[in-house]
Amino acid sequence: MKEFLAQYGSEIAQLLTEHLWLTFAAMVLATAIAVPAGVMLTRRPVWAKPVIGAANILQTIPSLAMFGFLLPLPWLGERAARVAIVALTAYALLPIVRNTYAGIRGIDPSLVEVARALGLTDTQRFFKVELPLAGPFILAGLRTATVTCVGIATIAAAVGAGGLGELIFRGVASVDNRLILAGAIPAALLALACDGALGLVERWARAPGPASGPAA
Partner 1 sequence: MNAAIEFRNVNFAPRRGRRLLNGISFEVEEGTTTAVLGRSGSGKTTLLRTVNRMIEPTGGEVLLRGKNVRESDPVALRRGVGYVIQETGLFPHMTALRNVGLVLEAQGRPARDRVRLSEDLLNAVGLEARTFRERYPFELSGGQKQRVGLARALAAQPQVLLMDEPFGALDPLTRAEMQDMLRDLLASLRMTALLVTHDLDEALYLGDRIVLLGDGRLAANMRPEEFLRSRQPDVEAYVQAFHRGEERAVAAPGKSA
Residue with smaller CB distance to partner 1, 57 or 207: 207
DSSP 34-97: HHHHHHHHHHSGGGHHHHHHHHHHHHHS-HHHHHHHHTTSHHHHT-HHHHHHHHHHHHHHHHHH
- Chain Cα centroid distance, residue 78: 24
| Closer residue to partner 1, CB minimum distance, 184 or 216 | 216
Question: Is 211 near partner 1 (CB under 8 A)?
Answer: no
Using CB under 8 A as the criterion, what x/- string covers residues 89-128 for binding partner 1? ---------------------xx-xxxxxxxxx--x---x
* Residue 54 binding partner 1, by CB under 8 A: no
Q: Are the C-beta atoms of 161 and 154 separated by less than 8 Å?
A: no
Q: Give the Cα separation of 79 and 34 in Å (integer).
A: 24
- Check residue 140 for interaction with partner 1 (CB under 8 A): no
User: Residues in contact with partner 1, total (CB under 8 A)?
Assistant: 22
Least distance CB 206 / partner 1 (angstroms): 9
Nearer to partner 1, 11 or 122 (CB): 122
Ramachandran region, residue 209 (left: φ > 0; alpha: ψ -120 to 50; beta: rest): left
> What residues make contact with partner 1 under the rule CB under 8 A?
110-111, 113-121, 124, 128-129, 132-133, 207-210, 212, 216
